[in-house]
């Protein structure tokens, strides 16, 4: 690179860095200046929203006082007279709903059962979740905003509702639409107001089209002020997180205000400033280039003469015109011309000597090649051709030929011999290197093979230990029959099943699926099975058993593992099964007449996810000949080579086809059907089945 070019680049870089620093400082100053205004806008928005929301909830609270003080309605609720409840409540709510002051009224018990709902649908959606219902039933009064469905926000006020001093507290919840609240907020602020859910999707507001066109992604848990462009308009967008009435996150309150005039003027000023700075920078660089071009012209002539001499043109010369640096360069060029002439004579003499050496080496190597075998002869002749080519300067074979050429020219007498020795030593070194690498790889392979054999032996022991804790004898009594089986996807798995007889003659049954696979899941499974069996021997309530198990497993769960399980206590005499489903696949009930139906899904979460979690007891009664088929997701999530899932429908069909078979035959037939469906593919997960049948 020319010196002139380097100077220009250096100066340009200095100007660019300075300009960039000024721009960054300006942008930072602009951001710091905008921050107080953004905080003021956010605080103003939050204060106005709190004031309007408080006014709306106060109005709803007055309405709940009216409903709570209606003794006729309280008597109807106490007597559980649904007809009288609906007559009284509808008469009270209809004019309020028609006037837009109310949208929903619900009376709920502490277990979440809807005793009355103003909605006319068969199964109305609860306004409150179960945790909030229990909080209110214990005496808390809550008010605020909540998203009650995928497309609706509601203002909700909830309070305890006692129909008599001795009765348990119920929950009275009333809700009102938010459209009037948003309209009032928009008028007060002079901007478009929108409500988004926790995923940023538009739910309520006056201008969904504008929001869709802006296509913004806003932070969910912090307030923010940003700008957005749509066409030739610029909008100021303020977002404030909304708190749910239960202290959770309800979504975002977003205001969109047209700020085109003020923001466009600021943008124009910024563009003019940048354009002026760039113009000044360009003028400085052009002037610097012209000045350096004039200053470096004598040096360019000197460089041209040196280039001609480097090509062997000794006719080129440079006249000494002054005693400055250019004159000193002219004297050096004259000395260089004299040295080049002497070097040319020496080169011709060495060329003649090189040709004599080439002929001698070629004759000696050809004579040696005739005494060798075919393979060695070809290698030697190949070396000869490369040496001759390198000596004559015709080689184009890369670094190896360049090395040969360098050896020949640096030592006229021993050059060819050194080239041959270099080739021979190179071959020996390369062969030794390859053998060393091969031996090292072989040693490494032997070590890995030993480690793999040890690991496989340990996994085999772990698999045997895991299978040893599973039941191997299955009862076939006069009143009931039990059978279970498990096939692990790996050497050890995370599924397990178990059953055992309690002191009162009842049978405890459990099937579970631990998160993950392999050794960690197997260890967690063993801990879970041991704890549950210990608890169930002394506790008769399945929900209490599972709660105690959850508390024990959650306490020191650093690996964040969890387990889904179905646990029940079966009375063989009555056929009654009381059970808890903690996030597990709903088992299938196979009736004596061949019908197959899944149990209802439970709302309980998996075990070891959250401490201090309550679980819900459910129950069913076996008829004579009925059986309950429990399974893990490895059954329905088996895949064929095309990637299609086995699924619940296929499994139900298999259970219907095998309803007449004994439980062992039915279980084995189901597993065999799954393997046929997989068509030899890898098993994706553990396959576990447990069947309990009440005999006719």
For position 391, what pLDDT does the model report?
55
| pLDDT of the residue at 650 | 94
**Residue-wise pLDDT tens digits, 211-259:** 777 777 888 778 888 888 877 788 888 888 888 877 678 788 888 877 7
Q: Which one of 56-60, 302-306, 406-410 scores highest in mean pLDDT? A: 56-60
- The answer to whether the beta carbons of residues 243 and 250 sit under 8 Å apart is yes
CA pair distance 457, 689, nearest whole angstrom: 27
pLDDT of residue 677: 92
Mean local confidence (pLDDT), 443-464: 65
Q: What is the pLDDT of residue 87?
A: 76
**pLDDT score at 411:** 47
What pLDDT score was predicted for residue 402? 53
Of the pLDDT bands very low, low, confident and very high (cuts 50, 70, 90), residue 389 is low
Phi, psi of 390 (to 5 degrees): -65, -40
Three-class DSSP category at 385: helix
d(CA 577, CA 629): 13
Per-residue pLDDT reduced to its tens digit, 352-387: 777 777 677 667 666 765 665 566 567 666 766 666
Position 511 pLDDT exceeds 90: yes
In which band, very low, low, confident or very high, does the pLDDT at 459 lie, cut at 50, 70 and 90?
low
Which of 323-337, 495-509, 657-671 is predicted with the least confidence, judged by mean pLDDT? 323-337
- Tell me what the mean pLDDT of segment 29-40 comes to: 67
Task: List, in order of start, the domains of the chain with CATH numbers.
Answer: 6-260 (3.30.450.220), 471-694 (3.60.40.10)
Q: What is the mean pLDDT of residues 507-518?
A: 88
Average pLDDT on 464-488 reads 83
Q: Tell me what pLDDT residue 181 has.
A: 82
Q: Distance between alpha carbon 326 and the CA centroid of its chain, in Å?
A: 68
Q: What is the pLDDT of residue 235?
A: 82
CA distances to 164, 332, 621 from 315, in Å: 123, 15, 116
Containing H/E element for 226? strand 224-230
pLDDT exceeds 90 at position 625: yes
Residue reference for tokens 């988004």: 196
Instruction: Tell me the average pLDDT across 310-331.
Output: 68
Q: What was the pLDDT predicted at 468? A: 60
The per-residue DSSP string of 508-545 comes to EEEEEEESS-HHHHHHHHHHHHHHHHHHHTT---HHHH
pLDDT attached to residue 424 = 52
Percent of the chain with pLDDT over 90: 23
Q: Which of 226, 232, 199, 196 is nearest to 211 (CA)?
A: 196
Q: Find the mean pLDDT for residues 273-293.
A: 78
Mean pLDDT of the chain: 79
CA–CA distance, 339 with 319 (Å, rounded to integer) = 18
Q: How many CA atoms lie within 13 A of 574 on its CB side?
A: 11
Tell me, what's the pLDDT at 407? 47
Contact (CB, 8 A) for 240 and 225: no
- The 10s digit of each residue's pLDDT in 127-186 is 888 888 888 888 888 888 888 877 788 888 888 988 777 777 888 888 888 888 888 888
pLDDT at 48 over 70: yes
Cα Rg of the chain, angstroms:
44
Has residue 483 got a pLDDT over 90? yes
CA atoms of 131 and 114, how far apart (whole Å): 15
Tokens of 515: 């998160």
Helix, strand, or coil (residue 375)? helix
| Residue 410 confidence (pLDDT) | 46
For 556-589, how does the pLDDT look when each residue is reduced to its tens digit (9 = 90+)?
Answer: 888 889 999 999 999 999 999 999 999 999 999 9
pLDDT top residue among 611 and 165: 611
Q: Contact, 86 vs 124, CB < 8 A?
A: no
DSSP conformation letters of 155-224: EEEEEEE-SSTTSPPEEEEEEEESHHHHHHHHHHHTSEEEEE-TTS-EEEES-HHHHHHH-----SSS-E
- Cα 246 from Cα 229, distance rounded (Å): 36
* Cα 493 → chain centroid: 25
Phi then psi for residue 457, to 5 deg, are: -65, -40
Helix axes 374-392, 399-410, angle to 10 degrees: 60
Q: How many CA atoms lie within 13 A of 580 on its CB side?
A: 28
Q: Mean of the pLDDT values across residues 592-601?
A: 94
Mean pLDDT value of segment 411-427: 55
Mean pLDDT on 289-309: 71
Q: Reply yes or no on whether the pLDDT at 490 is more than 90.
A: no
Q: Give Cα separations from 519 to 428, 488, 533, 549, 685 (angstroms).
A: 50, 12, 21, 21, 14
Compute the distance between CA of residue 645 and CA of residue 290 in angstroms, rounded to an integer. 75
- Can you tell me which residue has the tokens 């197959």? 596
| Per-residue tokens: 254 | 């977003």
* Length reported for the chain: 696
Do 688 and 634 contact (CB within 8 A), yes or no? yes
CA-to-CA distance for 467 and 503, rounded, in angstroms?
A: 26
Residues 11-20 have pLDDT tens digits of 778 878 877 7
């Amino acid at each position: 690179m020319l010196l002139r070019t380097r100077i220009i680049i250096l100066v340009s870089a200095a100007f660019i860095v300075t300009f960039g620093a000024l721009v960054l400082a300006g942008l930072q100053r602009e951001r710091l200046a905008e921050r107080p205004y953004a905080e003021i806008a956010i605080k103003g928005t939050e204060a106005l929203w709190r004031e309007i929301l408080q006014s709306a909830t106060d109005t709803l609270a007055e309405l709940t006082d009216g409903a709570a003080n209606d003794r006729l309605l309280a008597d109807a609720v106490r007597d559980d007279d649904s007809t009288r409840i609906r007559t009284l409540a509808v008469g009270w709510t209809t004019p309020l709903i028609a006037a837009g002051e109310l949208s929903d009224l619900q009376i709920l018990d502490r277990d979440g059962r809807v005793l009355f709902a103003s909605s006319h649908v068969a199964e109305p959606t609860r306004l409150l979740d179960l945790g909030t219902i229990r909080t209110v039933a214990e005496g808390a009064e809550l008010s605020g905003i909540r998203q009650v469905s995928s497309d609706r926000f509601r203002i909700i006020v909830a309070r305890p509702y006692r129909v008599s001093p001795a009765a348990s507290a119920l929950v009275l919840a009333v809700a009102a639409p938010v459209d009037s609240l948003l309209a009032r907020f928009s008028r007060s602020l002079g901007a478009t107001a929108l409500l988004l859910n926790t995923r940023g999707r538009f739910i309520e507001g006056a201008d969904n089209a504008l929001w869709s066109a802006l296509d913004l992604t806003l932070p969910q848990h912090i307030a923010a002020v940003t700008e957005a462009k749509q066409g030739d308009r610029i909008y100021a967008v303020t977002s404030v997180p909304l708190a749910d009435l239960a202290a959770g996150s309800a979504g975002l309150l977003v205001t969109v205000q047209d700020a085109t005039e003020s923001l466009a003027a600021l943008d124009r000023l910024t563009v003019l400033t940048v354009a002026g700075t760039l113009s000044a920078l360009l003028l400085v660089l052009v002037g610097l280039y012209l000045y350096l071009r004039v200053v470096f012209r004598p040096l360019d002539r000197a460089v041209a003469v040196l280039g001609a001499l480097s090509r062997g043109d000794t006719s080129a010369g440079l006249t000494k015109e002054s005693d400055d640096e250019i004159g000193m360069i002219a004297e050096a060029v004259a000395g260089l011309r004299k040295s080049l002439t002497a070097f040319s004579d020496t080169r011709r003499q060495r060329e003649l000597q090189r040709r004599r050496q080439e002929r001698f080496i070629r004759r000696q190597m050809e004579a040696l090649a005739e005494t060798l075998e075919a393979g060695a002869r070809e290698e030697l002749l190949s070396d000869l051709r490369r040496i001759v080519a390198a000596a004559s300067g015709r080689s184009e074979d890369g670094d190896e030929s360049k090395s040969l050429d360098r050896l020949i020219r640096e030592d006229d007498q021993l050059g060819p011999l050194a080239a041959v020795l270099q080739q021979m030593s190179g071959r020996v070194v390369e062969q030794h290197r390859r053998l060393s690498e091969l031996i090292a790889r072989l040693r490494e392979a032997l070590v890995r093979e030993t480690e793999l054999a040890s690991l496989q032996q340990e996994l085999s022991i772990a698999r045997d230990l895991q299978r040893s804790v599973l039941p191997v004898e299955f009862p076939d009594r006069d009143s009931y029959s039990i059978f279970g089986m498990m096939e692990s996807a790996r050497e050890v798995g995370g599924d397990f099943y178990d059953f055992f007889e309690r002191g009162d003659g009842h049978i405890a049954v459990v099937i579970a699926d631990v998160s993950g696979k392999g050794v960690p899941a197997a260890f967690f499974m063993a801990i879970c099975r041991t704890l549950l069996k210990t608890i169930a021997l002394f506790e008769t309530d399945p929900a209490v058993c599972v709660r105690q198990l959850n508390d024990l497993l959650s306490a020191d769960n650093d690996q964040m593992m969890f387990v889904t399980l179905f646990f029940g206590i079966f009375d063989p005499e009555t056929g009654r099964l009381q059970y808890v489903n903690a996030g597990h696949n709903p088992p299938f009930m196979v009736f004596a007449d061949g019908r197959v139906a899944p149990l209802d899904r439970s709302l309980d979460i998996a075990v070891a996810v959250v401490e201090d979690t309550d679980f819900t007891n459910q129950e069913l009664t076996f008829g004579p000949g009925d059986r309950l088929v429990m399974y893990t997701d490895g059954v329905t999530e088996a895949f064929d080579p095309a990637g299609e899932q086995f699924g619940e429908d296929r499994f139900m069909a298999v259970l219907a086809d095998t309803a007449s078979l004994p439980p062992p035959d039915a279980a084995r037939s189901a597993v065999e059907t799954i393997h046929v469906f997989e068509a030899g593919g890898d098993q994706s997960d553990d396959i576990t089945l447990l069947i309990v049948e009440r005999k006719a």
